[in-house]
Amino acid sequence: MRLSTGINLLNVLIVLALIAALTAPSLVVINAFGVLSSIRVGEPSVSSSGSVVEFSVPIGISNSGPFGVSDVRIYGEVRDAGGDLITSISSPPFSVAPGEIGTQRHLQIRINLSDIPQGRLQTLFSQAGNLTLLASLGLSIDPLISISAQASGTIPWEPPVKDFELGEPAVLGYNSTHIFASMPVRFENPSEIAVEGAVEVLFVDLETGSEMGSGYLDVNAPPGSIFEGELHSSFRLPENATALLLEARTYRCNATFGFRLFGIRVYTISSPLELQWSPPVDSPYLGSPSITPYNSTHSRFSLPFGFVNSNSLVTLDGSLSLGLAVGDVLVSESDPVGVHVPPGSGCSCNLTMLVPDWALSVPGALILSLDTPFGSASMEVPING
């Protein structure tokens, strides 16, 4: 009697266990679909502070089912062709308790670009190759099921800065201390990421190691675009800039172009540069002076003067004047003659001044002066009266 009761009890338990076993997956599936269909993804926001870029994706989620959803987590990493880790992202895990309706979560992904070794950034920006992407997603439907998904892919990588070209510089202006120049910059961005930041350039004298100049350009190159812009630079003039007016020079420097994104330098291109400087006052010549009587005490003294601006960049603006000195005394001076000499063109003018007749019969010196923003240069020509 007791055994048959036991058998009957087991029969009841078997039926109940079967019902529970058949019901549980249905409840899990309904629970999972309920949670998945309740997910509402909001507008993602991107914020960057220094080298840290943070993506925040608001997610509205509800769980009306009997099972809690826990340990929802996302992880991703990118490795280069050699298998070295470039960057990894992960979100802090979160849970959705049973009965939680309309809860707002923020899926936050934080990337610190400064954690990426400079060498890898340099490689990424300069070389095409394949990147390996690993991503994983996990969640648990407590306590019955734990689901994890892992995706891996090989993504062809195109460097964001391709065929970087620097055009011929153009001088925008100059003063006694600096030359301001503009250089066309062109590069192609065939990659899938936008290059938004700045290009900085630094010119360093190879002989002295001192900084010769620097420049800056804002860059915004969307994916698949060709960027063209003007890199504005300033070059520091040497202390004796007057010599630049008359002498040819060769400057050997190292130009370093640095791309700065999200506040950190991600890519640099260095290249030696040889800057040829030709004098803006080249091949000066003096013509035959002429003297004509002006009045009873003075004569008009005329001197033809000319030169060629051999510099291909600088337009020489300034003024020329002529003077006559006897001993240490300047006895006569012409009015300044303004000059405007574009690159490659010549200048010729007739400098005229009134000279006391007595000064023409004693030894003296003609003083030819040129005043420019570079400085002033003067040339003395002795005369014997």
Partner 1 sequence: MVKLLGLVLSRTSLALRLVLGLLLGAAGFLIFYFLPANLVELASAAVGEEIPPAVAGLLSSLVDPYLPAVGLALAATIFLCTLLRGTKAYGFVTVALSLLYAVYVVLWFHSGTVSIAVPEALLGGDLPFGISLSIRVEMPLLMGLYLVPAALGIAKGALLVLMPSLKKD
- Which residues make up the interface to partner 1 (CB under 8 A)? 3, 6-7, 10-11, 13-14, 17-18, 20-21, 24-25, 28, 133, 143-156
Shortest Cβ distance from residue 3 to partner 1 (Å)? Answer: 5
Owner of token pair 């001088």: 171
Work out how close the CB of 152 gets to partner 1 at its nearest, in angstroms, rounded to a whole number.
5
Q: Please say which residue, 23 or 348, places its beta carbon nearer to partner 1.
A: 23
Q: How far is the CB of 150 from partner 1 (least distance, A)?
A: 5
- Cα 108 to Cα 76: distance, rounded to the nearest angstrom: 13
Nearer to partner 1, 64 or 148 (CB): 148
Would you say 54 or 71 has its CB closer to partner 1? 71
Contact 179, 210 (CB under 8 A): no
Q: Rounded distance, CA 128 to CA 190, Å?
A: 10
What amino acid occupies position 268?
T
Bridge partner list, 137: 74, 149
Query: Nearest distance from residue 122's CB to partner 1, in Å?
Result: 23
Whole-number minimum distance, CB 166 to partner 1, in Å? 32
CB of 22 to partner 1, least distance (A): 9
Closest CA to 307 of 329, 334, 337: 337
Looking at the Cβ atoms of 10 and 41, the one nearer to partner 1 is 10
Kindly state the smallest distance separating residue 141's Cβ from partner 1, in Å.
Answer: 9
Residue closer to partner 1 (CB basis): 148 or 271: 148
Residues 299, 355 contacting (CB under 8 angstroms): yes
Q: At its nearest, how many Å lie between partner 1 and the CB of residue 84?
A: 19
Smallest distance from partner 1 to CB 16, Å: 9
Give 222 or 363: the residue with its C-beta nearer to partner 1. Answer: 222
Question: Taking Cα atoms as reference points, which of 156, 87, 88, 152 lies closest to residue 120?
Answer: 87
**CB closer to partner 1, 150 vs 348:** 150
Q: In the complex with partner 1, which residue's Cβ is closer, 67 or 235? A: 67
State the minimum distance, in angstroms, from the CB of residue 143 to partner 1.
Answer: 6
Nearer of residues 158 and 371 to partner 1, judged by Cβ: 158
80 or 317, CB closer to partner 1? 80
